[in-house]
C-alpha cells in the first residue's frame, strides 16, 4: 500500500509517499520562511496563497522523481488540524478532491499526533510505549504514548509554547524569523552570560509548562540594554538555557515517575542542537530518540506515516471538508 501524505497546517507545504512494505519512498517540502520573514511571523492569507501555488507542482515533482504514478497511490492522508484555518482548508480540499478523482479514500490526520510518531520513521526499532515531549512553535506537550491510539497527557503549555517564545524574544533582539535557529546561532558565540533568567515551573509538582512570564522578563531586560552583538549573544545564551533547563528537567522527571525507558523528543524545537546534545548527556540509563532533522519541522512524511498507521481504522469516505484549528489530543 502506498500512502500520499499532505501537510499544509502553517508555512510549509509538504508531500511524501510511504510504502507499507518498504517504508518512506520520498518526500518534498517547500518552506515559506522568506515570504513571512519581513513580517516577523506567519501571515495566514499569504500562507494560504502559497499552498495553492505549490501543491500541484510539488506533487508532480515528487511523483516524477520517485517514478510513481498517481494511480499507484492507495490512500491519501492529510493534516486536518491543528493549524491555521486557511492553509488547512487548502490542504484538505486538495486531498479530498484528489482522492475522489482517484476513487480512493482520504484520511484526516492530527498534526500533533503525526509529530509524536515522526521519530519512528527513521528509528524503525522504536515502538510504544514511550514518553513523548512535543515542543514546537504552537505547542509544548508531554505525553505517555501507550500505543498508536492510546495516550495519557501529562502536561502542556498553559500560555505561550516554547517555540513561540523563541520567535518572540528573537524579534525583540532584532533577529529575523524564524527566531529559534537565530537565537541558537548567537548563543553559540559565547559560553557565559551576565544575565540570570527564571526557569518557570521547573520545581512545580506538575508537568505543565509556562513560558509567557519568561518572555516578559527577557523583554523587559532587553529594553534596559543598549544592544550590542556581545549582549545579544549573552541574552540568547541564557534564554536558550532557561528554556532547555525546564524542558529537560520536566521530561526526565516524568520518565522517572512513570518508569519509562524510551523518551521521544519531536517538533520543530527538537532540531535545536544544544537540546539534542543535552538530552543525550543527561539521559542517564534511558534511551533518547529524535526524528531526523528534516522530520522535526513540519513535513509530509510524518503525515504519510501516520496515515499508514491508521490505515486499518474505519475511514469515512466523505467529501465534506471540516478542518479543526484545535488538536483532538488537548
Beta-strand (E) ranges in the chain?
2-7, 12-19, 23-31, 75-81, 105-110, 130-135, 140-147, 150-156, 262-266, 287-289
Supply the CATH number for residue 102's domain: 3.30.420.40
pLDDT category at 28 given cuts 50, 70, 90 is: very high
Does 229 fall in a domain? Answer: yes
Residues 113 and 216 in one domain: no
What percentage of the chain carries pLDDT values higher than 90? 91
Residues 85 and 136 in one domain: no
Q: Are residues 53 and 150 in the same domain?
A: no
Note the pLDDT of residue 320.
81
Residues 211 and 304 in one domain: no
Is residue 90 within 8 Å of 51, Cβ to Cβ?
yes
My answer on whether 152 and 260 are in the same domain is yes
How is residue 39 written as a grid cell? 513580517
Higher local confidence (pLDDT), 306 or 138: 306
Residue-wise pLDDT tens digits, 273-286: 999 999 999 999 99
Q: Does 40 have pLDDT greater than 90?
A: no
CA distance 91 to 87: 6
Cβ pair 19, 326 in contact under 8 A: no
DSSP one-letter string for 47-112: HHHHHHHHHHHHHHHHHHHHT--GGG--EEEEEEESS-HHHHHHHHHHHHHHHHHHT-EEEEEEHH
Residue 90, domain extent:
2-117+296-309
205 and 229 in a common domain: yes
What is the number of domains present in the chain?
2
State pTM to two decimals.
0.95
* Nearest Cα residue to 204 out of 138, 268, 135, 155: 155
Residues 135 and 269: beta-carbon distance below 8 Å: yes
**Given 3-state DSSP classes, what are the helix, strand and coil percentages for the chain, each rounded to the nearest 5?**
45, 20, 35
Q: What pLDDT, on the 0 to 100 scale, is given for residue 325?
A: 83
For residue 232, the Cα-to-chain-centroid distance in whole angstroms is: 26
pLDDT of 89-117, one tens digit each?
999 999 999 999 999 999 999 999 999 99
Sign of the C-alpha dihedral computed for residues 301, 305, 311 and 316 taken in this order: negative
Q: Please give the DSSP secondary-structure letter assigned to residue 175.
A: P
Question: What DSSP line would sit under 141-165, residue for residue?
Answer: EEEEEEETTEEEEEEEBSSS-HHHH
Q: Rounded to whole angstroms, how far apart are CA atoms 298 and 300?
A: 7
Residue at 330 is within a domain:
no
Given the C-alpha cell 541574552, which residue does it identify?
A: 235
C-alpha distances in Å from residue 174, one per residue of 183, 245, 268: 10, 24, 21
Interval 58-83: pLDDT, tens:
999 999 999 999 999 999 999 999 99
Q: Which three cell numbers stand for residue 177?
A: 524569523
Q: What is the pLDDT of residues 288-325, one digit of tens each?
A: 999 999 999 999 999 999 999 999 876 777 778 888 88
Phi, psi of 251, rounded to the nearest 5 degrees: -65, -45
Amino acid at each position: 500500500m502506498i500512502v500520499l501524505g499532505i501537510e499544509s497546517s502553517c508555512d510549509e507545504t509538504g508531500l511524501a509517499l510511504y510504502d507499507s512494505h518498504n517504508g518512506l519512498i520520498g518526500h518534498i517540502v517547500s518552506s515559506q520562511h522568506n515570504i513571512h520573514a519581513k513580517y516577523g511571523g506567519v501571515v495566514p492569507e499569504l500562507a494560504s496563497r502559497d499552498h495553492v501555488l505549490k501543491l500541484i507542482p510539488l506533487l508532480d515533482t515528487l511523483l516524477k522523481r520517485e517514478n510513481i504514478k498517481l494511480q499507484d497511490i492507495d490512500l491519501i492522508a492529510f493534516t486536518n488540524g491543528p493549524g491555521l484555518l486557511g492553509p488547512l482548508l487548502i490542504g484538505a480540499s486538495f486531498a479530498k478532491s484528489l482522492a475522489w478523482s482517484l476513487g480512493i479514500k482520504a484520511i484526516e490526520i492530527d498534526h500533533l499526533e503525526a509529530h509524536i510518531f515522526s521519530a519512528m520513521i527513521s528509528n524503525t526499532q522504536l515502538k510504544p510505549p514511550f514518553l513523548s515531549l512535543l515542543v514546537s512553535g504552537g505547542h509544548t506537550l508531554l505525553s505517555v504514548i501507550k500505543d498508536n491510539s492510546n495516550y495519557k497527557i501529562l502536561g502542556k503549555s498553559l500560555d505561550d509554547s516554547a517555540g513561540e517564545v523563541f520567535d518572540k524574544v528573537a524579534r525583540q533582539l532584532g533577529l529575523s524569523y524564524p527566531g529559534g535557529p537565530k537565537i541558537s546561532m548567537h548563543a553559540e558565540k559565547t559560553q557565559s552570560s551576565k544575565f540570570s533568567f527564571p526557569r518557570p515551573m521547573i520545581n512545580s509538582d506538575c508537568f505543565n509548562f509556562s513560558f509567557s512570564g519568561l518572555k516578559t522578563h527577557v523583554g523587559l531586560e532587553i529594553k534596559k540594554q543598549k544592544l550590542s552583538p556581545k549582549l545579544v549573544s549573552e541574552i540568547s545564551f541564557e534564554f536558550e538555557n532557561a528554556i532547555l533547563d525546564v524542558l529537560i528537567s520536566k521530561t526526565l522527571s516524568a520518565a522517572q515517575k512513570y518508569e519509562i525507558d524510551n523518551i521521544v523528543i519531536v517538533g520543530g524545537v527538537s532540531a535545536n542542537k544544544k537540546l539534542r546534545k543535552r538530552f543525550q548527556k543527561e539521559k542517564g540509563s534511558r534511551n533518547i530518540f529524535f526524528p531526523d532533522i528534516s522530520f522535526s519541522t513540519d513535513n509530509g512524511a510524518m503525515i504519510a506515516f501516520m496515515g499508514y498507521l491508521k490505515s486499518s481504522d474505519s475511514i469515512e469516505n466523505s467529501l465534506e471538508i471540516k478542518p479543526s484549528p484545535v488538536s483532538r489530543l488537548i
